[in-house]
Amino acid sequence: MQELITRSEQDPRFCWRLEDLFITDEAWEQAFSAAKNGLGALIAAEGALNSALALKAALDISHQAANIIEKLYVYAHMRRDEDNANSKYQGMTDRALSLSVAFSEAGAFLVPEILALEPAALETFRKDERGLDVYAHMLSDIVRQRDHILDSGRERLLAAAGEVFSAPKNIYSMLDHADMRFPSVTNEKGETVEITHGRYTLLMESRDERVRKETFEKFYGAYHANENTFAATLASSIKCDVFSAKVRGYKSSLEEALFGDNISIDVYFSLIEATRASLPALHRYLDVKRALLNKPELHMYDLYAPLSETPYPCTYGEAKAMVLEALAPLGKDYAERLNEAYTNGWIDVYENRGKTSGAYCWGAYGAHPFVLMNYQDNIDNAFTLAHELGHAMHSYYSDKTQALPNAQYRIFVAEVASTVNEVLLMRHLIATERDRGKKLRLMNHSLEQFRTTVFRQVMFAEFERATHDMAENGEALTAETLKKTYADLNAAYHKGVVLDAGIELEWARISHFYNAFYVYQYATGYSAAVAIARDILESGDASRYIEFLSSGGSDYPLELLKIAGIDLTTPAPVKSALAVFEELLSEFEKEVNACD
């Protein structure tokens, strides 16, 4: 039986080096104490923003404290992610979160007091003190949000409730990653394999239908046993979103989620409308998949089944070299940074028991970014590596170029860099692959990227909109209503596919639902990335793109994307990307027919 190794059994060569944040846990404790004691300086600034120098001093104190607390939280959380059952790092994470809440509470006066200044006085401050230039965009954005900022007392109250609002996500994480255990299945080699989050997709890509079906049923069977707990947890998270929107005077939780990025809800609805219009192309692709699998009907557990009989194994070492070569069009400096990521402890590579599932990139200003993976030896994981390194390079260039107040890019553009890397890797592999079976697999992977990154994420976006609408209308959010809502969307998006029992519970394992209205940005980001990658390959010039990566959060997302030549205020990029999907599907069909 293939059982997971423990964290202590991991080879250090494949572990990230969190010592680059804090050399020891004792150093973390010292920084924690200093940060906790240092909150007094921020508290002392309350009621004293009566000059340009005082305003700058308060903003400097706030940002420096935020950066230290972010490092504390990131370190503790990533240590916990190494093994979620480790109580020491559970405790450190909770303490860092509590300190973050205390910081938010201590600084709750800042925005209300800035808004209390007369506009003319604030403008005079900015002219008199050039040190405020670095805060120009932030100050303008605060003024823009004037109607949704509360007085200092209520802001402090909301800040103090931060741990309460984060509880649903924390409960979900503990249940899904630490407490949940899945049964075992017998793979196509006759080996007993324990199902884990990391192995689930690998098992669902088995060429053996029995393995896929058994894995699907056992995996969702575990969620079925806990469906009411998952439903209550998600409902609580949604109600927190609704409460926040109401108390801040937004028309809806969707409006609040998009307002921070200065994005109209029309962008959200336009994305759904364009994707819905292209569903016939998705249904056509699913029918092609059914035919290639030689099945009378396609099941949900068949969606990840390989259409090419040619296996495409890819070790971590091979993936590193492949990604480096594919991203060469991004320039020499970009390549040097990739090599640094490979060799200097940026990446935590393999799965171990208790480790957080999936993959992500995270970090804090002043230190290099970190990438968590659960690498399995196949081509899909090579794409995941390219994806997460896109995030890492975005953070690297942003932090290198921008001062602390403008370094953090917004979520709306967060998936652009990661997807550009994936598109460039795909283009490179399709162009260089000589094995027809592998080429078919690559083309199918590209089609799957569209299916999962555009169509699937937009379906998720519809689920989020529907469930938040239900909460805002006073409707019940129970396991049954959540399952029905999700099943109805699957019926629309997967027309002609057998909706196997269990798929109506898929929402229970989607962690992004605890960060409301995030997932639609995968689709917009993918659309933008397709256009950016095409431009780089056709022009041979990545300078505009590197400028975009280096811009951090110095402007609103839609304005930053214009640096790279993308205008998402129109539906054109999304429609263009969906047109590429149809073109690729036609090419895929021709390649399949040629094989016949």
- The amino acid that residue 474 corresponds to is G
Q: How far apart are CA 48 and CA 343, in angstroms?
A: 48
d(CA 210, CA 187) in angstroms, rounded, equals 9
- Helix and strand element counts for the chain (H, E): 26, 7
Q: What angle do CA 571, 584, 535 make, to 5 degrees?
A: 60
pTM: 0.79
**Are the C-beta atoms of residues 134 and 403 closer than 8 Å to each other?**
yes
Neighbours of 26 (CB within 10 A): 9
Domain range annotation of the chain: 7-160, 177-309+443-514
Q: What's the confidence (pLDDT) of residue 10?
A: 95
Rounded to whole angstroms, the Cα distance separating 365 from 65 reads 12
Q: Are 59 and 135 in contact (CB under 8 A)?
A: yes
* Sites in the chain below the pLDDT cut of 50: none
Residue 233, burial from CB neighbour count under 10 angstroms (0-12, 13-18, 19+): buried
- 197 neighbors 216 (Cβ within 8 angstroms): no
- Give CA torsion, residues 415, 420, 423, 425, to 10 deg: -110
Q: What are the structure tokens assigned to 31, written together?
A: 């920084």
Is the CA virtual torsion 350, 351, 354, 357 positive or negative? Answer: positive
Each residue's pLDDT tens digit, 226-274: 999 999 999 999 999 999 999 999 999 999 999 989 999 999 999 999 9
Phi, psi (deg, nearest 5) at residue 414: -65, -30
Note the pLDDT of residue 159. 84
Q: Which tokens belong to 592?
A: 């399949």
Q: Within the chain, what is the greatest distance between any pair of CA atoms? A: 78
Distance of CA 500 to the CA centre of its chain: 27
Q: Is 504 a catalytic residue?
A: no
pLDDT for the residue 288 = 93
Concatenating the DSSP letter of every residue in 309-357 gives: SS--B--HHHHHHHHHHHTGGG-HHHHHHHHHHHHTT-EE-S--TTPPP
CATH 3.30.70.1280 fits 7-160, yes or no: no
Residue from 286, 298, 136, 282 nearest 209 by CA: 298
Q: From the candidates 70, 105, 351, 388, which is the catalytic residue?
A: 388
Cα distance between residue 79 and residue 99, in whole Å:
17
Cα gap 524→415, rounded to integer Å: 9
pLDDT attached to residue 580: 86
CB atoms within 10 A of CB 35: 22
Structure tokens belonging to residue 211? 């393995």
Are 425 and 322 a contacting pair, CB within 8 Å? yes
- How far apart are alpha carbons 517 and 460 in whole angstroms? 9
Strand ranges, E, within 344-398:
347-348, 360-362, 370-372
pLDDT of residue 595: 65
CATH class of 177-309+443-514: mainly alpha
Q: Cα Rg for the chain, rounded, in angstroms?
A: 24
- Do 7-160 and 177-309+443-514 come out as alike in CATH topology? no
Please report how many Cα atoms fall inside a 13 Å half-sphere around the Cα of residue 158, on the Cβ side: 19
Is 11 buried (19+), middle (13-18) or exposed (0-12) by CB count in 10 A?
exposed
> Positive or negative, the Cα torsion across 173, 177, 179, 182?
positive
Q: Which pLDDT does position 596 carry in this prediction?
A: 60
